A = this chain, B = another copy of it.
């Protein structure tokens, strides 16, 4: 495309109301403009990226699923059948048509597709089947923000599969897991498939797909050596090695004014990892609502994971810390509690359980003990995984170590089971001639969100750095001294035709602007390859090439240039 015919809507200043980098850069690069809160118009540059993302998703989905297109507007009756009309809350936008019939703007399409399936699917022979669409959705967020990252109107690729049994669901689920890897790889993104809790959609078994970026909202723990990845809250914390033998004698030391682990460790000149903290929480209540306390012991440098603790049969859920009075009733004082000599169950985290000669509270105000050793000095009721994983932990699958990064959720695959098919009575005839309720899976990708996430992962202080597969243009050609050099213009035009013919998506920057302005714009909008055509280069038989991540430009002849562009 010729830049003179493109709406360049680049901004020099960062708009004040854009909090995250992708929102700022999408506005500055002229990709989007706000129409109203949480509603954005995609400008030509943005649509080019959006269309490329959607095309890659379609190509990969078409290998195993069929594209359909469901209405944005849905009759509310279906949501009443599934029970979500009540459950979904005010994010579900409701309206009435001119005949006063109630509808919703679809935030998701489980009900509509299940309604379709119960009409069209008659026999187990038609299963499994997987339908997808790429479509506009609406979620009436109370506080839309971060541009298209959390907008009210957005584009989703949503897929729904139907199965005769759980085994078939699992097979398709694995297929979608692989398809998602193919998609995000082709999108050129650094991502992780993460074991996830299923949240409100329900079901049993799900993965989130996260684009790794420092600005992400979620902490992802993944292995350096395998494809293990999980939300930090979900990742199993394992421990390497066994407990060493005791070498020190137990000793009570004065630790006045040392309240925190850090203060105690500093005072006693030990690493926090050589200390433990002992937390008192409520145990499960009996029939009369009475409960006793439970001690949870973790290494001083570790954090309690509430979800894991709540899952223990000894511990009350939701997790509730002992009150000051309850602690005092046991003759203890917060700040100096230790696991030794306690009359309540002592549940010890795996990592704390392999310590020897460690530091703990002395169960006396203002005092700690050193040289504490399990069994000799303190008894363990149960060893359990009750902490968050940390960088450097062994990966639970035994391969590599844990690395924690922030991620942006861009995809989610679910094993839905029979939640919707049961509610909407979606049955087909089985091999035995009897009707049975089908089993479902669902698979989403936030298409508009992917664009923002790609930017959050790929930018510098000059602007966006697109992966080549989704860049608005793969290559930009800038004729040098355009106004006065017909030779440079002619050579640029020739290269433009040649690269177009070779299948590249090329921008010829023929705007009547200074080269500096063009260079800044091209860096801001993130074109991966920039080629400058000048008289000097023509004479030397070379082109000035600069990759978007390169610090310096370099001279390349045509053959080398083509090799570089193909990447």
- Write the residues of chain A forming the contact surface with B, with a CB cutoff of 8 angstroms: 5-7, 9, 33, 35-36, 39-44, 46-48, 50-51, 66-75, 90-91, 93-98, 103, 105, 112, 115-116, 119-120, 126, 129, 131, 133, 135-136, 138, 140, 142, 152-153
Contact = CB atoms under 8 A, between A and B. Distances in A.
A459 B543 CA distance: 57
A69 B93 contact: no
A73 B138 contact: yes
Given A33-B116, A136-B136, A152-B73, A67 B41 contact: no
A114 to B, nearest CB: 12
A373 B50 CA distance: 72
B39 A73 contact: yes
A95 B95 contact: yes
B44 A120 contact: no
A41 B71 contact: yes
B69 A41 contact: yes
Given A74-B35, A116-B41, A120-B9, A69 B50 contact: yes
Contacts of A97: 93, 140, 152
A131 B69 contact: no
29 contacts: A6-B66, A7-B66, A9-B120, A33-B120, A35-B115, A36-B74, A36-B75, A39-B73, A39-B75, A41-B69, A41-B112, A41-B116, A42-B68, A42-B69, A42-B70, A43-B68, A44-B67, A44-B68, A47-B68, A47-B133, A71-B153, A73-B138, A73-B152, A93-B95, A93-B97, A93-B98, A94-B95, A97-B140, A136-B136
Contact of A33 (B35, B90, B119): B119
Which 6 pairs, one residue from A and one from B, show the smallest C-beta to C-beta distance? Answer: A95-B95, A44-B66, A42-B69, A39-B71, A36-B75, A90-B98
A6 B129 CA distance: 9
**Best-surrounded residue of A73, A119, A142 (most CB of chain B within 10 A):** A73
A80 to B, nearest CB: 14
Contacts of A72: 72, 136, 138, 153
A311 B133 CA distance: 52
B142 A98 contact: yes
A553 B70 CA distance: 38
A299 to B, nearest CB: 46
A44 B68 CA distance: 5
A447 to B, nearest CB: 11
Nearest to A6: B66
A232 B71 CA distance: 36
Contacts of A91: 98
Contacts of A152: 73, 97
A364 B335 CA distance: 121
A266 to B, nearest CB: 51
A518 to B, nearest CB: 16
A179 to B, nearest CB: 15
A90 B98 CA distance: 7
Given A112-B41, A131-B44, A35 B68 contact: no
Contacts of A136: 72, 135-136
A93 B35 CA distance: 18
A88 to B, nearest CB: 12
A35 B136 CA distance: 17
Given A35-B74, A47-B69, 7 more contacts: A6-B66, A39-B73, A44-B68, A51-B67, A72-B138, A73-B105, A91-B98
A76 to B, nearest CB: 10
Contacts of A42: 68-70
A13 to B, nearest CB: 15
Contacts of A135: 136
A188 to B, nearest CB: 22
Given A7-B129, A41-B116, A131-B44, A35 B70 contact: yes
A105 B74 CA distance: 13
Contacts of A46: 69
B35 A112 contact: yes
A40 B120 contact: no
B47 A67 contact: yes
Nearest to A112: B35
A112 B153 CA distance: 15
A91 B99 CA distance: 11
A95 B40 CA distance: 18
A52 to B, nearest CB: 12
A129 B7 CA distance: 8
